[in-house]
Structure 1
Amino acid sequence: MNNENERAARAKKGSPFLNRALEKMRTAGSGPRFRKHGRYVRYHIDDLDEWSLRYGKGATTDARESGAGRG
């Protein structure tokens, strides 16, 4: 559990790009599962991991060829 907390703390310090990308995907309906807490949108790290494992690709051509990446 402590390892999970450390990982979440590191993720929280992440780039604003992540937030903007997730917002765009959420609006399009293609991003990971999210939760609304009042006006705040939150992503559980387990949901991000699950989504990433399901839709992550090794190369940009992988997503275009398979049509995957849209959640």
Structure 2
Amino acid sequence: MDDDAHRAQAARQTCPFLTAKQTAFYLGIAPGTLKDLRLHAAGPRGRLHGGAWRYHINDIEAWSNARSRGSDCA
């Protein structure tokens, strides 16, 4: 597992808040795409913690689930 994947997994298990980079990795999108979504209020709900964007895992999953189409992935 690469470093970003390992860090995202560890964050999910120990802290419900992921960094923007971890969130992008979790969603399978580029960090720049996540930033564009945030700037257009179209991405998952984010929070500023100490000047850095953080995303709660429940908000990430809710945003993703709201965009679900068709059948579930197998």
Question: Same fold by TM (over 0.5)?
Answer: yes
Distance of aligned partners of 1:5 and 1:40 in 2 relative to their CA distance in 1, 3 Å threshold: same
Paired residue secondary structure (1:33): coil
How far off is 1:16 after superposition? 7.2
CA–CA separation in structure 2 for the residues paired with 1:52 and 1:16: 12
Moved over 3 A (4+): none
More helix by share: 1
Distance of aligned partners of 1:20 and 1:55 in 2 relative to their CA distance in 1, 3 Å threshold: same
**Structure whose alpha-carbon radius of gyration is higher:** 1
More strand by share: 2
Please list the CA deviations of residues 11-68 of structure 1 after superposition, one character each: whole Å capped at 9, or x if unmatched.
Answer: 93x3671x2211100101111111101210011111110000012335xxxxxxxxxx
Cα RMSD, aligned residues only: 2.9
1:26 alignment partner AA: R
Percent identity, please. 31
What is the number of residues matched between the two proteins?
Answer: 51
Unaligned runs of at least 5 residues, structure 1: 59-71
Per the alignment, residue 39 of structure 2 pairs with: 27
Q: TM-score, normalised by structure 1?
A: 0.55
Q: TM-score, normalised by structure 2?
A: 0.53
